[in-house]
Amino acid sequence: MHRRRIWFRRITKVVATVGIGAMLGFLAPTVIADFTEKPAVQAQTAESPVARQFITAFVADDQATLDLLQIGADTKAKASRFKAEYIKVDPPVHLGSWIIGGGLTLHGYASHVVDTSGVEDQLAWRVATGAGSVVLIDPPPSVLTP
C-alpha cells in the first residue's frame, strides 16, 4: 500500500510537470505574440489611369474628356464652376489609392489653387472608380464659421 502511494505521487508529479510545461509552452508564445507590435494592414493599390484622366479633365474643365468618360451633367457643371472660380490650378497630386471593397477603389488628390481674388488655398478631392465608371465624391460641408 505504501509503495502504491509513492508511485502514485511520482506519476502525479510527472503528469503535473508535463501539463504545466505544455501550458507554459502554449501560453508564453501566445502572450508574447499578443503584446508585440504588428504592422498595419495596408490595402493600398496603384493609381488608376481612369481616375487620373478624370481629375485632370475635371480641374481643366475639359468637357470633351468628361464626355468621353461618360461623366454626369452635374459633375460637368461642377467642373465649369470650378474653372470659373479659380484662376490658377496646379496639377493634382496623387495622395494614394485604397481598395474599399465591392470592386471600388478610392483615390485621393490635392492641388494648390489661387482664386479670383488672389487668395491661395489647397483643395482635395476623392474619386471612386469601379467597373469602368468614375465618381467624384464631394467633401463634407465646411464646419468653420465666418
Global pTM? 0.66
Helices marked H in the chain — which ranges? 2-35, 49-60, 63-68, 73-85
For 49-137, CATH gives: 3.10.450
pLDDT tens for each residue of 2-38: 778 888 888 898 888 888 887 778 877 887 877 877 6
pLDDT tens for each residue of 75-126: 999 999 989 999 999 999 999 998 887 788 999 999 999 988 999 999 899 9
Q: So where are the chain's domains? A: 1-38, 49-137
